[in-house]
Structure 1
């Protein structure tokens, strides 16, 4: 039975004065009735959006002074559409923004700071490393709505058949485990999705990143980064590891192999948990193991933090911004996050939303344990744009078409074009 979001005490308690005039073309001028705000939701239209539509209706019931025009915008189009709309002063009052977009939009002046507003009144309840991804130059520009990170997903039954009693803690241990699984069960012990985002743990494992913000340097081709990608290259070429799939269907093929029991482990995020639990190998949900990714030679384990922030458009007038703040507070409240987690199997961003009800979901409980190893993205507007050149060169490197150093030098050159004020090696 659906839980009663309309009864959320936090949202009901928030009071905001909505006395200013409405934005051009929007309803809600002073004394004329409810203020109407527009929300662009970038969630999956089929699997996630229905949950948010219910929450919008519940918000309106609890807050009759605000109406919400809900628009589902495909995630792939949302960044460019918001940029265009914001540039012409026609952007939505609230946007569900990927964490990687927040610095760029803030730098462009498209977002309203939320420090000291009702939207941020519970900021202390959110996990600090997630709040960092909503900040830019000392100001808070978003409230974390949902988060994710990468972990090692593994098939406990296949590991047990190979005599493996615990998840690997180093990449060398994973290589040995993959070989053992292949020898004892005949299936691949590990499969890797060759995209730039999935390669980041190998950089973090060597204590480096693609860039160094404090030193304003491009580090993606540093000796440490080369060592990290060399570790990945050796891993995917090891016995017991699935042949690298560089086709356009590579992602789906890796997931199919894992779900059917033809691959014993993968690097993946919680957004696939619900699908994994529906697959043949994991109909018994407790067969899925979720562990912190192995550490590199620096003794560090790390994975990129992802997720989405709710941000407010700076071009809205005072009345619409106040209504937007009220809406953001409602949608990111503890009760709202409990409801969202229950319906969409996504990870809350607040510590008080990990209730016993939520953590009964084994996927959420598993990823909650690995969130501490998540690495916030640097506060750089262009950072997320570096994943594409890294992914392009990664395929060439892992396929033996070019050396690791040459490929990463190409990534560094692409980065230099994006951030010309950063020094290269």
Structure 2
């Protein structure tokens, strides 16, 4: 799950309007190449150059196709595409966050990809990641990059506190945090108040915000409440950092971790390159990565994020055919290897984890925890359920609201987002 990127200038907005042309993005002449438009939502500074280079490679190998590349800020792309598709003028290809994929598929904006060139290598992709690209039994995206949350820690600080391995349970984490504070004189753990980062506490109790099979909102159920009680308990105590509910909380936590001011956090692989920029991880091998601790159900689980490449259903046949060829190229083992090597992101297919890719300890570490990642349910509204959590959990964390009142508010808010579910 990438964090939002700053808003673009007016010129970028005008560029989007000019390139959001879907099936009308013609070649200029009947016998010329087919020109498709791709909206990429990757970080414009750290990641986009890799994708631009791959576009050039694709064009060199496919003379009949040209690609108009547009980098769209992640935090704007969902609404922009929704508006453009509703007006029948969306780009031919979208880098779609996994949570957007079923939502846009439900609206009929994405082309089903089963049996097409885009999914020619379907057997190479991780099954759980393909599941996240599905809606109503059909596949609407090809997984490009993936991510999950892991317990990341400073090995040197843990060693100074006499700790030789990552905690397996949340209870062990509390004990480790106290030991770190006592012996290493820094906080042992800094928890996030954001809803996405609370998911492991629900999974650890064998539950979730909703039960799709029974169409029920489960956030107020006993297992979920137990998980949130554990979550709340990690904001106070020896070695546990107090809740940060400021607008810059994410940056504060990240800065403290990469510079050795806190020993551990829960974080995703999108921060791998930034970890290495901090003083604590000049030696990359000092970065410890482990599966998130387990809850009382004896199970550890973390949410799965990432991005798919999807094709606009409103494009004409020629542009769809060119787009399918483009998807196959961009998600090939060779392309994914190149993306991983340049951007330190996780591939979605097993054959892209080459020795060169896994030589990065960050990627190798996150690859090992992917087995604990939980695919999102095939529910278009699922990602929107984190919105109420982002509103209520900070108030619960810093004591402005009781957990009981917070859960009640979450139950009511989530029920409105999935009105056909029972409570």
TM-score bucket of the superposed structures, by smaller chain = over 0.9
| CA deviation after TM superposition for structure 1 residue 143, in Å | 0.2
CA distance in 2, matches of 1:197, 1:223: 20
CA distance in 2, matches of 1:194, 1:83: 29
CA distance in 2, matches of 1:218, 1:377: 15
The answer to whether the 8 Å contact 2:23/2:319 transfers is no
Instruction: Give the equivalent residue in structure 2 for 1:118.
Output: 117
Instruction: Give the equivalent residue in structure 2 for 1:140.
Output: 139
Q: Which runs of 5+ in 1 are unaligned?
A: 1-21
1:373-400 Cα offsets, whole Å, 9 max, x none, are 0011111111111111112111111112
Instruction: Give the equivalent residue in structure 2 for 1:294.
Output: 293
The answer to whether the 8 Å contact 2:84/2:90 transfers is yes
Change (3 A) 1:326 1:401: same
Instruction: Give the equivalent residue in structure 2 for 1:13.
Output: none
CA distance in 2, matches of 1:414, 1:181: 39
CA distance in 1, matches of 2:124, 2:62: 23
The answer to whether the 8 Å contact 2:200/2:303 transfers is yes
Is 2:240 the partner of 1:241?
Answer: yes
| CA deviation after TM superposition for structure 1 residue 243, in Å | 1.6
Higher mean displacement: 187-196 or 402-411: 402-411
Instruction: Give the equivalent residue in structure 2 for 1:91.
Output: 90
CA distance in 2, matches of 1:184, 1:192: 20
Is 2:331 the partner of 1:335?
Answer: no
Query: Where in structure 2 are the equivalents of 1:304-315 lying within 5 Å?
Result: 304-315=303-314
Change (3 A) 1:24 1:290: closer
CA distance in 2, matches of 1:155, 1:322: 48
The answer to whether the 8 Å contact 1:390/1:408 transfers is no
Q: How many residues align?
A: 403
Is 2:36 the partner of 1:37?
Answer: yes
Instruction: Give the equivalent residue in structure 1 for 2:130.
Output: 131
| CA deviation after TM superposition for structure 1 residue 244, in Å | 1.3
The answer to whether the 8 Å contact 1:151/1:290 transfers is yes
The SS at the match of 1:236 is coil
| CA deviation after TM superposition for structure 1 residue 24, in Å | 5.5
CA distance in 2, matches of 1:407, 1:374: 26
Instruction: Give the equivalent residue in structure 2 for 1:6.
Output: none
CA distance in 2, matches of 1:338, 1:379: 28
The answer to whether the 8 Å contact 2:23/2:89 transfers is no
CA distance in 2, matches of 1:150, 1:23: 35
Instruction: Give the equivalent residue in structure 1 for 2:57.
Output: 58
1:316-363 Cα offsets, whole Å, 9 max, x none, are 011110100000000000000000000000000000000000000111
Change (3 A) 1:381 1:183: same
Instruction: Give the equivalent residue in structure 2 for 1:166.
Output: 165
Instruction: Give the equivalent residue in structure 2 for 1:72.
Output: 71
| CA deviation after TM superposition for structure 1 residue 74, in Å | 0.6
CA distance in 2, matches of 1:243, 1:235: 9
Change (3 A) 1:143 1:24: closer
Query: Where in structure 2 are the equivalents of 1:266-281 lying within 5 Å?
Result: 266-281=265-280
The SS at the match of 1:36 is strand
The answer to whether the 8 Å contact 2:156/2:286 transfers is yes
CA distance in 2, matches of 1:140, 1:27: 27
Instruction: Give the equivalent residue in structure 1 for 2:417.
Output: 418
CA distance in 2, matches of 1:215, 1:237: 36
| CA deviation after TM superposition for structure 1 residue 31, in Å | 4.9
The SS at the match of 2:348 is coil
The SS at the match of 1:381 is coil
The SS at the match of 1:69 is strand
Q: Which runs of 4+ in 1 moved over 2 A?
A: 22-26, 28-31
Root-mean-square deviation (CA, aligned residues, Å) is 1.2
The answer to whether the 8 Å contact 1:110/1:315 transfers is yes
| CA deviation after TM superposition for structure 1 residue 23, in Å | 6.7
| CA deviation after TM superposition for structure 1 residue 303, in Å | 0.4
Instruction: Give the equivalent residue in structure 2 for 1:321.
Output: 320
The answer to whether the 8 Å contact 2:22/2:92 transfers is no
Change (3 A) 1:24 1:391: closer
